[in-house]
Structure 1
Amino acid sequence: MRPLTSAMTTLKKSLLAALKSFLRGRSFLQALLAFWISPNALKEQHVNGKRVYPSRTIENFLEEAEKLFLGPIDGDGLKRYSSDLKRQFRERLHSHPECMLPSFNHLLPTGKERGQYLALDVGGSTLRVALVELRGREATGKESEIVRMVSFKITPEIKKLEGMSFFDWMAARIYEVIHKDIPHGQDIIPMGLAWSFPVEQTSLGGGLLLGMGKGFLATNGLLGQDLGELIKFACKKQGLNVQLEAIVNDSSATLLSQAYVHASTRFGLILGTGTNIAVHLPVSAFSRAKYGKRPESWFESATHVIVNTELGMFGKDILPLTRWDELLNAGHPRPEFQPLEHMLSGYYLGEICRFAIIEAVETAGLLGGQLPPSLEKPYSLDTEILSRIEADTSPGLEAALSYWTTHHPSTTPPTLADITAIRTLATFISRRSAALLAASVFSLWELRHETEAEHVPATLKPTPSNDSGVVLPLPSVDEEIKDLESSTKVAFNGSVIEHYPQYLPTCQNYINDLVSRSQHPGSVDLVPAIESSILGAAVALACATTTAA
């Protein structure tokens, strides 16, 4: 009976430890999963009142973590993954209603658009109203400029404004900014809008309002109504006769803002709290059903279209998950909705690291075996903290130590060895993110090559230029191929890719390596897109109004 009694005692201790972990803020499922993954975490002993850890060292732990995070992307692993990802992209050109979504915007700027344009950017926390001047691509370094911009904080009180009250607030802010600039006798004020919320577009400048989320009540009683008409009606109360001519999301705006400067820009990349990519693809690459209801005239004039990939939704069953990724998914309300976003974006990188730190504390004595109380709460390790720690390259990591202890104090102060280990974990996680993002860009770049080769011969037809009313012939197949062989620009924006230490060069290096092994010619360069939402909305407006003229 002694072995059975011993086994029952071990099980009892295990369940108690799991329950304690649950009470500290981790879910019961996470605690049990952590036990089965690493049972040594629950086998600690005490000798002379001191905690004694299993024989595993922090060096052993980091060696395993490196294999789990980076092993699958070393060698040919990243190339194999990119091929699997490209296969998913292809499949969803013809299916799935929530990703690979062709927009109504099929025009890229010629770089000849000039003038001043009213642009709005509505995000989760800020409304920005700007007057943007476009001077032409030949005005090197000064192609576009924000002449004036005013930002208005969207406070919790404003988020609670219901229905038209929110749009009335918007209209009042627009009036504040532009009423002195309206030329006497101007009938209609055209406007471009970067809208960071779901909308079912029905035209380039029209779309049906969908739930905004993020605590906004503006859609109450207005779901399904036209966004452009709502803004127009609200502005009319302020004496402004506006017309919404173009609606873009953040990734499309990023693409357009740099396409105005660099003619070879075909991608817009966002990587901050979330992630997404917009790409310019042939219209004929998609099944007709993906376009929904739109007039035949749109298909007659469009050869290519800006596509909202909803990148974060890809990767199911092909991503190289670690046990810490699985813990994140186990506690997520929709674990399979955005699998790739969980491994790329700033919202999740800190949480993955938190799970790894918890295990290292329990099994390898990291941080003296004492988890700071603040880290018991899910999503309590902000990615910005990892960024600050990685930014410190000094021998003593004084800045990193100070930043860590300020945000996550503990009765057992961290040592240099502790912060070095945490910094090492952070580099594994950020490097994996950069590699997977590079594979995403590369897969879409190859997809663009392939769809152009498949569909260019079938799509030769006259199309109107977007800077005149003259009908011009399509470029020849040779010209299309020549364009593909040149350097393709990927415009980027977002806090992680812009500010996380070494993220951008690491991602570019992975892209360069993948492109060098591709059968397709050309290069792919990441280029920054500053103030891309506002500038992209202005460029979209310029394209729309110049064409209409």
Structure 2
Amino acid sequence: MTDPLASIREEFDLNQQVFKAIVDGFKAEYESGLSTASATGLATMIPSYVTTLPTGKEKGTYLALDLGGSTLRVCAVELLGNCQVTVTEIRRHIAPNDPLRTSGATAFFDWIVDAIAELIEKIGYDAVHADSPLSLGVCWSFPVDQTSVSAGRILRMGKGFTIEGVEGYDLSTLFQEAFDRKNVNVKVTALLNDTVGTLVAHAYTNPDARVGFIYGTGVNAAYPEKVSRMVKLKGNQQAQHYSQDTTMLVNTEIDIFGSDAYLPLNKYDRQLDANHSQPDFQLYEKMMSGACIGELVRLAALDLIEKGNLFKGHRPTEFAVSMEFSTAIPSDIEGHLDDSTEARFEHLKELIHFQDGYTVDLDDLNVFTELCQIVSNRAAKLAGAAMASLIEQQQDLMTGSSPIVIGVNGSTYEKYPDMHQRIHRSLVTWFDPQVSDRIRVELATDGGSIGGALIAMLAEKEEQQQQKVSSQQQETLSTTETTKKAIPNNHPPPPSFLGCLFGWLAPLRAKRGDTNNTSGVDETIKINQEKL
């Protein structure tokens, strides 16, 4: 008997040779992105200006704001130490026809700040009498030309928003003006991407985390990269303050990676892309994301139906419209694999319907179930290939002995049956035991809330440290100037008898002083490759 799925298996095959091509292709795109200015074309490898990760010991209350296309969420995150947090949040829905979408900057930002003020009141925090403002991390799901951890120029918003008086303006400044108008004692200390936030949030619960990965309806990734390798930062005034061994979290924008040069695009991938509203864009994401798995199953099933190998040539009503066969249906089918054949058969009849009255049989159940598995297996391997490339990009992870922790957030990873196991299996198959035995793929918390608050905290600490260093430098400069005035022509005074006798003590004291930790930030670790 001819196998009806033989050609489908071949189309979706992703062997180790193809896996290697994808890993190498991604690594080449990382290098290209690190060397290309963000303002040139589509931005990838975007600097976050976040150069530290939490240890899990930090304590305090910090705020996070996450604004998307339809929802505003503001959160108060209390860091309890010992990798524990509590979160209080307020949500505001923005309807498609809400006048706020076409309002001016003042009305729009005042509306946001009103929600923040309500949250502060809800948690009972006395911000008015606090010694310093509450720090806020902003996850702004719209294009921003970011120039520092807390500064960025707003670009065209999109997603139905046409706010007058925001494009080209600094986001933090617009917030601060609204805080001042409303007398709210809050300060934006960080702008962030949700993927970077995911990595930081997971690092608080597991300090070994070194990759943040989003796998839901879309896909993205973040990891720490050496500033010395980020050619795109040359000329940036902020970057001049970093030492050569400093590492910075990078938002890869891996969703827009991919080309025919290394992606195994099959005929169904090409059909999906050709019929998509944005063809030739986000090719990798279209092959494996939660937004597209269902459509790939639909296209392959239609091919089988046309050949009479599925549903006896009858087309389900669920297959009528492109991109409307939800990934939730293949997920649901695979979620019942442990049920009896009879129960699975009855369940399929509830999911698939036919206008001409056709009734599915057991052959349909077996063929369609395996088709779903073929498509989702490849999706898992594609996610694994991206994660493998991110591990290889951090060479010290390859040669070290510590756990290699990948924090993953997103509905496809969390809800699609066995997705975690399949991704982990692809990594174990790819790496030798010295690396694979240390890999931990873990469910991460939402980066827009806990991650946003943590980045606000890290940015606040770094700002305080910079202020301390600046103050010390100023004191040193003042002392030097005073000494110059006291000693004409810069000639030192003759040494005293005691100075001659005990002068050998000074270098010893200086040496001892150099070994002391004077950073004042004992609960925040620098992300350097030795630690990794």
Shorter-chain TM-score: what band?
Answer: 0.7 to 0.9
Q: Distance in 1 between matches of 2:192 and 2:219?
A: 16
Measure the CA separation in 2 of the matches of 1:543 and 1:160.
32
- Residue 66 of structure 2 is matched in structure 1 by 121
CA distance in 2, matches of 1:293, 1:522: 40
The aligned counterpart of 2:471 is none
- Asked if 2 retains the 8 angstrom alpha-carbon contact of 1:488 and 1:522, the reply is no
Deviation at 1:271, TM superposition (A): 0.6
From 444, 460, 479, the counterpart of 1:529: 444
Task: Give the direction of change, closer, same or farther, for the CA distance of 1:271–1:231 in structure 2 (3 Å limit).
Answer: same
Residues 538 and 93 of structure 1, relative CA distance in 2, 3 Å threshold: same
Any stretches of 5+ residues in structure 1 without a counterpart? 1-56, 453-479
- Give the corresponding residue for 1:134: 79
User: For the residues of structure 2 that align with 1:63 and 1:515, how far apart are their CA atoms?
Assistant: 29
In structure 2, the partner of 1:315 is 258
1:221 match: 165
Q: 1:538 to 1:300 in 2, by over 3 A?
A: same
State which structure, 1 or 2, has the greater radius of gyration over its C-alpha atoms: 2
Find the residue that maps to 1:417 and give its secondary structure.
Answer: helix
How far is the alpha carbon of 1:96 from its aligned partner? 6.5
Conserved 8 A contact 1:106-1:302: no
Report 1:182-221 matches (<5 A): 182-186=126-130, 188-218=133-163, 220-221=164-165
Tell me, in whole angstroms, the C-alpha distance in 2 between the residues paired with 1:410 and 1:250. 46
Q: 2:85 aligns with which of 134, 145, 148?
A: 145
Contact 2:316 2:355 in 1 (8 A): yes
The DSSP-based 3-state class of the residue aligned with 1:534 is helix
Q: Distance in 2 between matches of 1:204 and 1:256?
A: 14
Q: Where in structure 2 are the equivalents of 1:190-339 lying within 5 Å?
A: 190-218=135-163, 220-287=164-231, 289-290=232-233, 293-300=236-243, 303-317=246-260, 318-339=262-283
CA distance in 2, matches of 1:305, 1:112: 21
Contact 1:120 1:534 in 2 (8 A): yes
SS at match of 1:108: strand
Q: Give the match for residue 352 of structure 2.
A: 405
Which of 132, 154, 157 aligns to 2:97? It is 157
1:433 to 369, 375, 379: 379
The Cα of 1:300 is off from its aligned counterpart by 3.8
Aligned mates of 1:442, 1:481 — CA distance in 2: 11
The code of the aligned residue for 1:515 comes to: F
Aligned to 2:296: 352
> Which residue matches 2:390?
444
Give the residue type in structure 2 aligned to 1:181: Y
Q: Per-residue deviation at 1:517?
A: 7.0
Aligned residues: 451
| Distance across 2 between alignment mates of 1:111 and 1:132 | 13
Please point out which of 452, 456, 460 is paired with 1:541.
456
Distance 1:510 1:521 in 2: 10
Contact 2:381 2:422 in 1 (8 A): yes
- 1:5-154 matches, within 5 Å, as 60-70=3-13, 73-95=14-36, 97=38, 98-136=43-81, 139=82, 143-154=83-94
TM-score between both structures, scaled by the size of structure 1: 0.77
Moved more, 73-82 or 355-364: 73-82
**1-structure distance, mates of 2:185, 2:286:** 43
Residue 418 of structure 2: which of 491, 495, 502 is its match?
502
- Aligned residue identity for 2:85: E
Is 2:454 the partner of 1:512? no
TM-superposed deviation, 1:222:
1.4
CA 1:172–1:361 in 2, change beyond 3 Å: closer, same or farther? same
Match of residue 369 from structure 2? 423
Q: Describe the shift of the 1:306–1:522 C-alpha distance in structure 2 as closer, same or farther (beyond 3 A).
A: farther
Q: Flag the 1:199–1:261 CA change in 2: closer, same or farther, 3 A.
A: same
What is the correspondence of 1:330-409 to structure 2 with a 5 Å cutoff? 330-393=274-337, 394=339, 395-396=341-342, 397-398=344-345, 400-405=347-352
Q: Deviations over 1:395-448 (max 9, x none)?
A: 121464144137x76632333322332221111111101101111111121121
Matches of 2:404 and 2:61, distance apart in 1: 28
Deviation (angstroms), 1:292: 6.1
Equivalent position of 1:175 in the other structure? 117
Change (3 A) 1:481 1:354: closer
Secondary structure of the corresponding residue to residue 119 of structure 1: strand
Question: 1:258·1:265 contact (CA, 8 Å) conserved in 2?
Answer: yes
Q: Alpha-carbon deviation of 1:504?
A: 0.8
Q: Conserved in 1, the CA contact under 8 Å of 2:407 and 2:441?
A: yes
* Runs of 4+ with deviation above 4 angstroms: none
- In structure 2, what is the Cα distance between the partners aligned to 1:428 and 1:258? 31
User: Quick one: structure 1 residues 371 and 167, their matched pair in 2 at CA, closer, same or farther if it must change by over 3 Å?
Assistant: farther
List per-residue Cα deviations over 1:11-36 (Å, max 9, x = no partner). Answer: xxxxxxxxxxxxxxxxxxxxxxxxxx
Preserved CA contact (<8 Å) 2:316 2:352: no
Distance 1:400 1:210 in 2: 48
Once the two structures are TM-superposed, the CA of residue 333 in structure 1 deviates from its matched residue by 4.0
Query: Distance in 2 between the 1:411 and 1:213 partners?
Result: 44
TM-score normalized with structure 2 length:
0.79
The 1-side partners of 2:329 and 2:441 are apart by: 25
Q: Tell whether the 8 Å contact from 2:345 to 2:365 is kept in structure 1 after alignment.
A: no
**What CA distance in whole angstroms lies between the structure 1 residues aligned with 2:384 and 2:72?**
32
1:402/1:206 CA distance change after superposition, 3 Å: farther
* Structure 2 unmatched runs, 5+: 465-532
Query: Displacement, 1:338?
Result: 1.2
In the other structure, the counterpart of 1:29 is none
Which amino acid counterpart does residue 358 of structure 2 have in structure 1? Answer: T
Percentage identity across aligned positions? 31
Aligned with 1:160: secondary structure? helix
Report the 3-state secondary structure (helix = DSSP H, G, I; strand = E; otherwise coil) of the residue aligned with 1:237.
Answer: helix
Q: 1:184 to 1:331 in 2, by over 3 A?
A: closer
Distance in 2 (CA, whole Å) between partners of 1:425 and 1:521 is: 29
CA contact (8 A) 1:133 1:146 kept: yes
**Aligned-partner Cα distance in 2 for 1:296–1:432:** 40
Q: Which moved more, 1:361-370 or 1:258-267?
A: 361-370
Alpha-carbon distance in 2 for matches of 1:171, 1:386: 42
Is the 2:109–2:175 contact (alpha carbons within 8 Å) kept by the matching residues of 1? yes
Change (3 A) 1:256 1:61: same
Instruction: Tell whether the 8 Å contact from 2:135 to 2:457 is kept in structure 1 after alignment.
Output: no
Q: Find the residue that maps to 2:145 and give its secondary structure.
A: strand
- C-alpha distance in 1, partners of 2:248/2:114? 34
Q: For 2:417 and 2:234, locate their aligned partners in 1 and report how far apart those are by CA, in whole Å.
A: 40
Match of 1:531, as an amino acid? D
> Quick check: 1:401–1:416 contact (8 Å CA) kept in 2?
no
* Cα pair 2:141 2:193 within 8 Å, conserved: yes
- SS of aligned partner of 2:66: strand
